[in-house]
A = this chain, B = another copy of it.
């Protein structure tokens, strides 16, 4: 019944797909990674499977913006749930302000004095915030729409950019949820520039629940934990069809009891993931896994 572990054979001209196939016959996180790739492949290939994608962590500053963009553009993501930080940094990149490769050994006091904000080993000059502010001030919008509608509007207002996440969501009308929207620089700037802003996050909640409710087959890719993960899973809890496929990529662990590190199995007890679901958690940095995952999907799907 059980298969043997095959010793990985790395060949010189091997494609990444072949390597991942090899890893599927191993153990530990290599095997979990291979399983995650294969589960995502199924999610893409199964007719009508709605692919929910939750994205936490500073993925745009770390150079993962285009990967998320491409996954949206290629139809590998049907619903995106993310943090305000990723949106704020997406706007920065889209407005022409790239992030900078820094290091972790500079004194933070010196960076502060040089007006550089640090995100682990990435730098962002604080002047980016000023330019964002100029852009925000030019906007004209109904201050009581939902966050999703505001983000679609915003994607439309931004200058053309080859791999803006907001823009591709806007163009393709891909629902994008940001449940903790007031927890980001973008929301603060909106609030300063337009004090009457009161985006309707309860409308987003209802939309999201409907998306989950309507999905005949549902799959998910959970990158990092936090609010995006919980928002995705809570919507599935009350849906008639819980998740049939689920992968998660995280460095968090279950033992301290937080939702971020909770196992996917735990979500079965809540009815968020189906008893018969296929699932795999990869304990690894998403900056390593996402490029491998997209490369695998581009070859197989």
Contact = CB atoms under 8 A, between A and B. Distances in A.
A283 interface: yes
Interface residues of A, number: 122
Contact of A284 (B9, B98, B205, B284): B284
A6 B109 CA distance: 26
Given A5-B61, A13-B15, 11 more contacts: A7-B66, A19-B291, A28-B285, A57-B258, A58-B257, A62-B257, A117-B270, A180-B183, A183-B234, A191-B205, A253-B255
A224 interface: yes
Interface stretch (A43-51, A168-176, A214-222, A293-301): A293-301
A56 B28 CA distance: 14
B268 A109 contact: yes
A238 B10 contact: no
A156 interface: no
A111 interface: yes
A202 B179 contact: no
Contacts of A28: 62, 120-122, 255-257, 285, 287
A253 B251 contact: yes
24 contacts: A3-B101, A4-B98, A7-B65, A8-B66, A10-B298, A12-B299, A16-B16, A19-B292, A25-B63, A26-B64, A28-B255, A29-B287, A29-B288, A33-B288, A57-B257, A111-B269, A112-B268, A112-B271, A120-B257, A122-B257, A180-B180, A180-B227, A183-B227, A284-B288
A67 B284 contact: no
Nearest to A143: B202
Contacts of A85: 230, 259
B5 A98 contact: yes
A206 B234 contact: no
B257 A63 contact: no
Contacts of A42: none
A198 interface: yes
A66 to B, nearest CB: 4
B184 A234 contact: yes
A157 interface: no
A19 B295 contact: yes
Nearest to A27: B62
A66 B253 contact: no
Contacts of A5: 61-63, 98-101, 122
Interface string A151-190: 0000000000001000000000000000111111101100
